[in-house]
Amino acid sequence: MPLEEEPVMTSAKNTPTPAPGRPGSAPPSLEEPARPTGPLPPKPDQQGVQPRTPTGADPSPDRSTNAQQGAHLTTSQGARLRDTDHSLKAGARGPVLLQDHHLREKITHFDHERIPERVVHARGAAAHGVFEGYGTAEPVCRAAFLAQGRRTEVFTRFSTVVGSRGSMDTARDTRGFATKFYTEEGTFDLVANNIPVFFIQDGIKFPDVVHAAKPHPDREIPQAQSAHDTFWDFVSLHTEAQHHTLWFMGDRGIPRSYRMMEGFGIHTFRLTNAAGETSLVKFHWKPALGVHSLTWEEAQLLGGADPDFHRRDLSDAIESGAHPSWELGIQVFPDTEAQTFEGIDLLDPTKFVPEELAPVQPVGRLTLDRNPSNYFAETEQVAFNPGHLVPGIDVTDDPLLQVRLFSYVDTQLTRLGGPNFAQLPINRAHAPVNDMLRDGYGQQGDHAGVAPYRPNSLDGGCPFTAGEQDGAVTDLPVRVPEGIKERALSATFEDHYSQARLFWRSMTPVEQDHIVDAYSFELGKCYEATIRQRQLQCLANIDGRLCARVAEALGMPAPESTVAAEDPAGQVPFSAPLSQLGGAWPVDGRTIGILVDPEADNSGLLDLHEAIAAASMTPVVIAPRGGEVAGVPVGRTFATAASVELDALLLAGAPRLAPDSRPSSADGLEPRAGTLIDECWHHAKAIGAWGPGREALEARTVPGGAGLVVGDDGLEVLDGITELLAAHRVWERFPARA
């Protein structure tokens, strides 16, 4: 039988799912197609080029993608199948036959679809993008990707640390911020976090802190939480963890969005310029949208309403064209033998250098502009490693970093099933690769030649080693301090409290309230009174007032500090950039709910919807039922709407219950509409209203209260709301308690 001609477009994946309220995407057909037809086109934010293979010549497109080719279902060997729904049986009601190859292949492959999740940072979301160098790093760094105007493809993965792969995005936790720069000189990975200091000073303690933070081993609860005894047992005994812990008890532990987080390389790295001179640096990512957080209540509600909140937020923003971006910056310190700066030990990863002492100097911009097209292939299989460095960037003797250099390759061997994970498309270098690594599980290279060893004469001596003039990575002749072999830590690592105190002091009163609430919640979840008591002692050593407030909430006595309260030499008393408040920021990608009453006059709704989208924000129409209102699709019904998904709420109408339908509130407002307004008010979100919406606003909030905008029509109100959103939240609605 002759084979049918293949249609040109063959992939059946990438069915677009329109974001709530976003009109325009063509819906798939109601019927299952009977003949091959062209599939729905890939989403614009997913189109991209495949990375090139590291071994041999470029593969043909057919060889690089061994899935989803042609219109017909095949076995993994390419044989076409005419049935995938019925196993081969001895008679329609008889037993299944072992000879059914397709059945066995389908089930066997399915049985092995899962791989071990990451031992930490299991839950994540990622995106492709581009990094553009400013050229400003040239005086200190010779890495080519930092050159002015040089554009380098990147892949960035954000993550929580503690929860497993299916856990909620909004857990209180540190966030990972790992970026792979596919540079022409090899791949550089900046494997960073959203907090500039770490829990521990020596990598040998990493299993301890992770075991303490993960769920209790007997019952495996709680998931993705630090609010339990083992975590607080460890950090209250291991006081170098107190500084990091204070940061994530603060608002940075519950970011509003991955797009609104800073990133920090934490360790000090050593850079070399073209003249061979070295400097010590710390890397920073500064988000264009500013640093913003959820409230704790929002984070908890989102855990139920939308556990994928951050993942969805990132991909929706990219899909809608609101491409998140960050500036990469460096703090530069002289490379002295002491490796300290203003009294701060640069090798201690539990310390940061306040920006007042060393400004962050911008060296380039990262923009994320393309969503992955396959979560498993890209986001799950990407393998970062702080040891992936390029000429011009080197490590220091920070004992945390030194241990990381071992751990990352090691973990991929189990997670990705063998030593060839660098050949997975997402991990392939974009620079030419010519290694002598051979064979092993999952080998995809079809290596030519007979001499994967050096020296050789059989392959013409290839590959040759490169000199510095050929762009080779060089080992810097850094002096190693002389000493005896010992398991010890430098005395300069001993101060565990002074920078935590600096952080606490630098918070605004409302941020301090959030920290007090976070400790009160977390310690309130601990069963053991001795652990709460011990942690209160640590808080007393950070700041007496912080300790007293948490102790009061727990109903326990506040201990006295046991450490010296004076600041160490060189420390600033206060550091403004540590606070997230103040300033005005772009509103790109913010979500604006529009509550409508379909029975009312909604003539201005389409214009309002378009104006919000034109301002790079996402409008979501919320109505009692689905369908369309005045030509605009309903994004959420009362059954699916949650206030916590919104950054601001517009009341275009006041949907009411029929008087006899069921018990209603005194104002007659549909109760779920009332809850939306109440929660937005309570979470200090901007709320606007016009027409009948004004009545609802007055009934459910404090008339004339902060962050309420009323006007004659939606467009007028939108202006006021956009202005309020630039500050993220209506902070005046949270009166400071202390």
Task: Indicate the residue among 394 and 607 with the shorter CB distance to ligand HDD.
Answer: 394
Asked about 121 being catalytic, the answer comes back as yes
Q: State yes or no: residue 329 binds ligand HDD (CB under 6 A).
A: no
Binding mask 266-305 for ligand HDD (x = CB under 6 A): xx--------------------------------------
Binding mask 231-270 for ligand HDD (x = CB under 6 A): -----------------------------------xx---
Q: How far is CA 389 from CA 78, 148, 474, 655, 711, in A?
A: 40, 20, 11, 58, 56
Asked about 385 being catalytic, the answer comes back as no
Q: State yes or no: residue 119 binds ligand HDD (CB under 6 A).
A: yes
Task: Indicate the residue among 19 and 119 with the shorter CB distance to ligand HDD.
Answer: 119
- Check the annotation: does 415 bind a ligand: yes
Q: State yes or no: residue 411 binds ligand HDD (CB under 6 A).
A: yes
CA distance 154 to 151: 9
Widest CA span of the chain, in angstroms? 93
Q: Is 170 exposed, middle or buried (0-12, 13-18, 19+ CB in 10 A)?
A: buried
Q: State yes or no: residue 172 binds ligand HDD (CB under 6 A).
A: no
CA distance 605 to 693: 13
CA distance 624 to 172: 33
Q: Which of 183, 193, 618, 701 binds ligand HDD (CB under 6 A)?
A: 193
Q: State yes or no: residue 731 binds ligand HDD (CB under 6 A).
A: no
The residue at minimum Cβ distance from ligand HDD is 176
Interface region with ligand HDD, contact rule CB under 6 A, candidates 40-48, 403-411, 523-531, 671-679? 403-411
Interface region with ligand HDD, contact rule CB under 6 A, candidates 115-123, 543-551, 562-570, 582-590? 115-123
Helix (H) or strand (E) holding 341: strand 340-341
Minimum distance, C-beta of residue 410 to ligand HDD, in the bound complex (Å): 7
Task: Indicate the residue among 160 and 225 with the shorter CB distance to ligand HDD.
Answer: 160
| Helices within 485-556 (DSSP H only) | 498-505, 509-524, 529-542, 544-554
- Check the annotation: does 157 bind a ligand: yes
Q: Which of 154, 191, 554, 709 binds ligand HDD (CB under 6 A)?
A: 191
Altogether, the residues listed in the chain come to a count of 738
Pick the catalytic residue: 193, 194, 541, 602? 193
CB 154 within 8 A of CB 366: yes
Task: Indicate the residue among 224 and 548 with the shorter CB distance to ligand HDD.
Answer: 224
Minimum distance, C-beta of residue 266 to ligand HDD, in the bound complex (Å): 4
Q: Which of residues 445-474 bind ligand HDD (CB under 6 A)?
A: none
Minimum distance, C-beta of residue 65 to ligand HDD, in the bound complex (Å): 23
Q: State yes or no: residue 377 binds ligand HDD (CB under 6 A).
A: no
Q: State yes or no: residue 358 binds ligand HDD (CB under 6 A).
A: no
Interface region with ligand HDD, contact rule CB under 6 A, candidates 398-406, 421-429, 622-630, 719-727? 398-406
- Check the annotation: does 131 bind a ligand: no
- CA distance between the termini of the chain: 83
Q: Which of residues 514-553 bind ligand HDD (CB under 6 A)?
A: none
CB 51 within 8 A of CB 428: yes
Minimum distance, C-beta of residue 60 to ligand HDD, in the bound complex (Å): 30
- Check the annotation: does 206 bind a ligand: yes
Q: Which of 384, 493, 504, 734 binds ligand HDD (CB under 6 A)?
A: 384
CB 250 within 8 A of CB 503: yes
Q: Can you state the angle between helices 242-249 and 529-542, rounded to 10 degrees? A: 90
- Check the annotation: does 408 bind a ligand: yes
Report the DSSP pairing between strands 628-629 and 632-633. Answer: antiparallel
Q: Which of 123, 370, 404, 700 binds ligand HDD (CB under 6 A)?
A: 404
Q: Give the DSSP per-residue string, 656-709.
A: B--TTTS---TT-B-HHHHHHHHHHHHTT-EEEE-THHHHHHHHHS-TT-TTEE
Q: Which of 22, 43, 121, 282 binds ligand HDD (CB under 6 A)?
A: 121
Q: What are phi and psi of 127, to 5 degrees?
A: -155, 155
Return the DSSP state at 506.
Answer: T
Task: Indicate the residue among 176 and 653 with the shorter CB distance to ligand HDD.
Answer: 176
Q: State yes or no: residue 120 binds ligand HDD (CB under 6 A).
A: yes
| Helices and strands (DSSP H and E) totals, the chain | 16, 20
Task: Indicate the residue among 311 and 656 with the shorter CB distance to ligand HDD.
Answer: 311
CA distance 644 to 308: 12
Interface region with ligand HDD, contact rule CB under 6 A, candidates 113-121, 292-300, 478-486, 553-561? 113-121
Pick the catalytic residue: 121, 267, 292, 323? 121
Q: State yes or no: residue 188 binds ligand HDD (CB under 6 A).
A: no
Task: Indicate the residue among 117 and 713 with the shorter CB distance to ligand HDD.
Answer: 117
Q: State yes or no: residue 157 binds ligand HDD (CB under 6 A).
A: yes
Q: Is 91 exposed, middle or buried (0-12, 13-18, 19+ CB in 10 A)?
A: exposed
Return the DSSP state at 583.
Answer: S
- 242-269 b/e (C-beta count within 10 Å ≥ 16 → b): bbbbbbbbbbbbbbbbbbbbbbbbbbbb
- Check the annotation: does 487 bind a ligand: no
Q: What are phi and psi of 723, to 5 degrees?
A: -65, -40
Task: Indicate the residue among 198 and 341 with the shorter CB distance to ligand HDD.
Answer: 198
Q: Give the DSSP per-residue string, 630-661.
A: TTEE--EETTT--GGG-SEEEES---B--TTT
Which residues are annotated as catalytic? 121, 193
Which residues in this chain contact ligand HDD in the complex, by CB under 6 A? Answer: 118-121, 124, 157, 159, 176, 178, 191-193, 198, 203, 206, 266-267, 349, 382-384, 400, 403-404, 407-408, 411
Residues of the binding site for heme: 118, 157, 206, 404, 408, 415
